[in-house]
Structure 1
Amino acid sequence: MIDTLILQKVSKKTIRNVMLFAIMLVMVSPTVILAAEKGQQHDAIVVGAGIAGLSASWELAQKGFDVAVIEMQPLYGGTATMSEGALCIVGTPEQAKAGIIDSPQIAFKDFMTYGSDQGGPGPDVEWVRYYTNKSRHEIYDWLTGLGVTFEKSAVLMPGNSVPRWHKVIGKGRGLVEPIHRACKQSSRVTFFYGHKALSLIRGKSGRISGIRAQRLKDNVSIDYLAPVVILATGGFQGNMKMVQKYWPERQPFPERILKGAGINATGSGHEMAQAVGARLFNMQYQWNYATGLQSPSDITGSRGLNAFSQQSIWVNKAGSRFVNESQDTRMTFPELIKQPGGTYWAIFDSAARNSFFISGWSRESIEEGLFNNQQNSRFVKSAPTIAELAVAAGLPPQILTETVNHWNAMVTAGSDTDFGRIGCCRTPWSNPNRIERAPFYAVQFYPLARKSMGGVSIDRSCRVLDDSGKHIPGLYAAGELTGLAGVNGKASLEGTFLGTSIMTGRVAGRAAAAELSGQTKP
């Protein structure tokens, strides 16, 4: 690295020549490492500034330890910032005020039932027990103490016997910013943005002693050294090669699948951990959605958003419904990938436009970025009649008209004789309206690679385990990298991804702090 004092003593021409040379090297080989800096020593290193990494960093800072947070992106937050900021929590004041009777015992049964299936392991019993017993204290009380505010009522989501999905005011940003602010205020946490972790450093004793990172602006290699390292790098659903490698055998791989995870969710943490002997588990447990909307801001067409209208019906290329739209992704995703082209159109009217949902987006953003954006005309269609809408979307006009008319008749009769949607559950999906108010809309959807429920194996202190079940000294992991500690098993209760990321982040931070303090038992 060229020191700023030295720069003041050399000519501008020399500086320009050095910079041009550096740019030429990067253009020839983007991964070339131009130089290496002397290693930086810290008490602890956290890789990833998402919600799990921030939670771990906060815990370490509270115990007085110096923390270096290595983050590839120029900003903190990761996938959490693009979420609804909703958490699955048991026994909150919001539930009590609404007269909702909930308990760890009721929640434990819901978790174990929903995440289990015939064949293969289900949820991790001990982590489920910890989550259901401690979510009020570890998540709700902690967050509100940091300044996070929740909406007044909890929402009932699939798999839950009572409403326990708590939405944060301000969505993902409203959830993440107070945690980040608390980390910054501690003065013990230093963020190194634009730094890509390349590999773990292992000492002669076999203990992890740091990470090697690459500063992306100039490709300089830097070793960050510490007695403990916490990996919080997220999942792998942004890496299509890994998604396909670990795809469930019983499902065909979709013709087209959009990346719905964060930009950093590339499986880099999995690869680093594996390189030092970490065990991976349940990698085939992927929680992918049938509600993938091509991202309007992505020019590559590869990234997607989780979006839907609860008042819509879904039709395939033939113009026919093919599924009960109110079911969760366990049912809708397999049906979607059976359809011609692996795609469908959501059909709804102007009355339903105001309730169209995109995860993490405000109402204003949806209107401006989707419906009023001419660049989206390929996958967002509008017309004054259903027949004209069909033509715009490339669907058979007569069949789509018949499908909508048949749907309206079933809504009036109060019974979905085709797929059993109407009145099937306690959600707006099962209490639909007729599609009759012009203009009419058709929005095209694809499969969406969203979350991973398998990952790096950890123990109850979030220490990373090897294939023999022994912990790798000095190495911890948290968040989606760990498959959310197996809390979900084969199916995710909504809100447990953010919730478990916070919980495992805090557990990892406390355990690492205990080890640094000389305690023999994290």
Structure 2
Amino acid sequence: MRQYQSDVVIIGGGLAGIVAAQELLSAGKSVTLLDRDDEQNFGGLAKESFGGILMVGTPEQRRSGIRDTPDLALRDWLSFGDFGRDKAAELWPRRWAEAYVNDSHGEIYCWLKERGVRFLPLPLWVERGQFGGGNSVPRWHVTWGTGHGLATQLIRTLLAHPRRQALTLAFRHRVDDLSMQAGRISGCCGATEDSNEEFTARADTVLVATGGINGSIDRVRKHWHAEWNSPPQAILNGSHKFADGLLHDAVQSAGGNVTHLDRMWNYAAGVHHWRPRKAGHGLSLVPPRSALWLNWRGERIGPQPLVSGFDTRELVTRICHEERAYSWQILNQKIALKELAVSGAEFNPSLRDKSIPGFLRDTLFGNRWLVRQMTENCIDFVTASSLPELVDKMNALQGDRSVDLGTVRSVVESYDAEIARGPALHNDEQLRRIAHLRQWRGDRIRTCKFRKILDPGAMPLIAIREFIISRKSLGGIQTDLDSRVLDTAGKPISGLYAAGEAAGFGGGGMNGLRGLEGTFLGGCVYSARRAARAIAGRISDK
């Protein structure tokens, strides 16, 4: 049996685990970091992400003329998060929300900058709220290099730490259970993924940083929020394959309180990955704003049309209330070149690889590489030179005749006629929202100016079949502001801490029902730093 011994055991090699390891080494502690994945995937889901982080009062905001304050951010957070009425259940989530907005500049922004992480100069404005109540100002700071650059840079600084010899990294190690001795957590045990060789890791303190539950579609279905009706027949997986809730079970067995697992941050525009690395592997599209969003029959979803950038949860809710919980978006080549994007590092190579010429080319002239990749390889994309041909291909893809040509033709021609009347006479809510989006520079460069669907000069037509895709857990292991795991009576469990998505990014659900976006990577950094400080202080005081 393999045996490890250190001051602290960190379970999970994602962003939270990496940040905590750095801080603990700086505090003079020895650390064993156990990760279930291969070493090449060190960094977890963060390494695959687009890299957006919500921060308040940054120089990038000020240079863009944005006046932001923690008070304004907290008001937006609590309003948009739609926290429940049970004050006891929401106590720690609300405290974490308040702490995050007050500390994000120093604890996240400055800390990352000191470690060589850089951000695009223009913050983006996402999650504005369907009718307001979301982000009042742009706060979403995109990492130069995407999440891949963020994780890689922090791994680099971790491995170059002056006390690197006090860090033990063990990959392909699956933790199955926590160990307890004399009434406190004293380590963990499990087996290697390759040979199933058993191991134990002993420590004064254990930090759980293993991600959420959304990599297990069975658990996603089990905890499906009542507001979303029954789980869809098809749910794609956009989470980490090892974010399966195994350590949530272990924490519960040790007496820990796991809360709000029905709060999830899923997306409405998932498509199948043609090179899957896990079962049901999906890609999360950034839904084109100028595309028409239709239900499974080809009817425009309404009366309030679906437009991304305002309320991600609402998009999921609306589609889940349809008889069949998948949807179509119809657009053309020119809209796709301007607006089509896939969330994550894999399909944003210019940004990921920090290529300024490539980034400017894709932004200003359209991402031809991405459109070609999606239309040629993704099963959920169909193209055609006419509307009848497009509808035939949509029905052939789905294997039935559910999409009606007459219905689609009416929807598309009506929308195009509205555009033809000119902006002064636009009376379509989607066009009003497009006009609003284009007022902010960060959205204007990636949003078409009232583009007709049946424009002969913009062909071919494109239809995208889109599914709900599982992504992040907003609930999780309940923690206090020191990231100590709490039991069901609200008391800390000695020797046990949790950070990152495993802890619902702080407190077992600091976002509430929906997130302002960027609080996920930011929550990993912030909760890990708080955990490390508390752990270092506790060990020092023993």
Partner in structure 2 of residue 56 of structure 1: 20
Partner in structure 2 of residue 433 of structure 1: 451
Q: How does 1:287-298 map to 2 (within 5 A)?
A: 287-298=265-276
State yes or no: 1:358 paired with 2:342.
yes
Secondary structure in structure 1 of the residue aligned to 2:300: coil
Q: Structure 1 residues 84, 416: CA separation in 2 closer, same or farther (over 3 Å shift)?
A: farther
Secondary structure in structure 2 of the residue aligned to 1:90: coil
Check whether the contact 1:156–1:162 (CA below 8 A) recurs between aligned residues.
yes
Check whether the contact 2:264–2:474 (CA below 8 A) recurs between aligned residues.
yes
Q: How does 1:485-500 map to 2 (within 5 A)?
A: 485=506, 486-500=509-523
Residue of 179, 182, 188 corresponding to 2:157: 182
**AA in 1 matched with 2:499:** A
Take 2:349 and 2:140, find their aligned partners in 1: how far apart are those partners? Answer: 24
TM-score (norm 1): 0.87
**AA in 1 matched with 2:145:** G
Check whether the contact 1:104–1:133 (CA below 8 A) recurs between aligned residues.
yes
Partner in structure 2 of residue 27 of structure 1: none
Residue of 470, 473, 482 corresponding to 2:491: 470
Q: How does 1:3-402 map to 2 (within 5 A)?
A: 36-37=1-2, 39-74=3-38, 75-116=41-82, 119=85, 124-158=93-127, 159-186=134-161, 187=164, 188-203=166-181, 205-252=182-229, 253-298=231-276, 302-307=280-285, 308-323=287-302, 324-326=305-307, 327-354=310-337, 355-360=339-344, 361-363=346-348, 371-372=372-373, 376=377, 378-394=379-395, 395-402=403-410
**AA in 2 matched with 1:359:** S
Q: Structure 1 residues 277, 431: CA separation in 2 closer, same or farther (over 3 Å shift)?
A: farther
TM-score (norm 2): 0.84
Q: Structure 1 residues 301, 471: CA separation in 2 closer, same or farther (over 3 Å shift)?
A: closer
Take 2:300 and 2:138, find their aligned partners in 1: how far apart are those partners? Answer: 29
Take 1:239 and 1:277, find their aligned partners in 2: how far apart are those partners? Answer: 23
Structure 1 stretch displaced more, 62-71 or 289-298: 289-298
Take 2:135 and 2:69, find their aligned partners in 1: how far apart are those partners? Answer: 12
Contiguous gaps of at least 5 residues in structure 1:
1-35
Q: Structure 1 residues 115, 363: CA separation in 2 closer, same or farther (over 3 Å shift)?
A: closer
Aligned-pair Cα RMSD in Å: 2.2
Secondary structure in structure 1 of the residue aligned to 2:250: helix
What count of residue pairs does the alignment treat as equivalent?
A: 482
Residue of 501, 504, 527 corresponding to 1:504: 527
Q: Structure 1 residues 329, 45: CA separation in 2 closer, same or farther (over 3 Å shift)?
A: same
Take 1:444 and 1:477, find their aligned partners in 2: how far apart are those partners? Answer: 38
Deviation at 1:249, TM superposition (A): 2.4
Quote the sequence identity (%). Answer: 31
Take 1:219 and 1:416, find their aligned partners in 2: how far apart are those partners? Answer: 64
Check whether the contact 1:285–1:453 (CA below 8 A) recurs between aligned residues.
yes
Deviation at 1:420, TM superposition (A): 5.1
Q: Structure 1 residues 120, 336: CA separation in 2 closer, same or farther (over 3 Å shift)?
A: farther
Take 1:117 and 1:104, find their aligned partners in 2: how far apart are those partners? Answer: 18
Q: Structure 1 residues 265, 182: CA separation in 2 closer, same or farther (over 3 Å shift)?
A: same
Q: Deviations over 1:111-151 (max 9, x none)?
A: 11111256556683321221111101111111111111100
Q: Structure 1 residues 229, 289: CA separation in 2 closer, same or farther (over 3 Å shift)?
A: same
**AA in 2 matched with 1:177:** T
Take 1:143 and 1:489, find their aligned partners in 2: how far apart are those partners? Answer: 26
Q: Structure 1 residues 90, 40: CA separation in 2 closer, same or farther (over 3 Å shift)?
A: same
Structure 1 stretch displaced more, 488-497 or 389-398: 389-398
Residue of 404, 415, 433 corresponding to 1:423: 433
Take 1:432 and 1:179, find their aligned partners in 2: how far apart are those partners? Answer: 42
Take 1:465 and 1:237, find their aligned partners in 2: how far apart are those partners? Answer: 22
Structure 1 stretch displaced more, 116-125 or 349-358: 116-125
Check whether the contact 1:316–1:340 (CA below 8 A) recurs between aligned residues.
no
Deviation at 1:378, TM superposition (A): 3.0
Take 1:273 and 1:498, find their aligned partners in 2: how far apart are those partners? Answer: 23
Secondary structure in structure 1 of the residue aligned to 2:437: coil
Bigger-Rg structure (1/2): 1
Deviation at 1:246, TM superposition (A): 1.7
**AA in 1 matched with 2:23:** E
Contiguous gaps of at least 5 residues in structure 2:
128-133, 351-366, 396-402
Q: Structure 1 residues 113, 343: CA separation in 2 closer, same or farther (over 3 Å shift)?
A: same
**AA in 2 matched with 1:433:** R
Check whether the contact 2:331–2:461 (CA below 8 A) recurs between aligned residues.
yes
Partner in structure 1 of residue 354 of structure 2: none
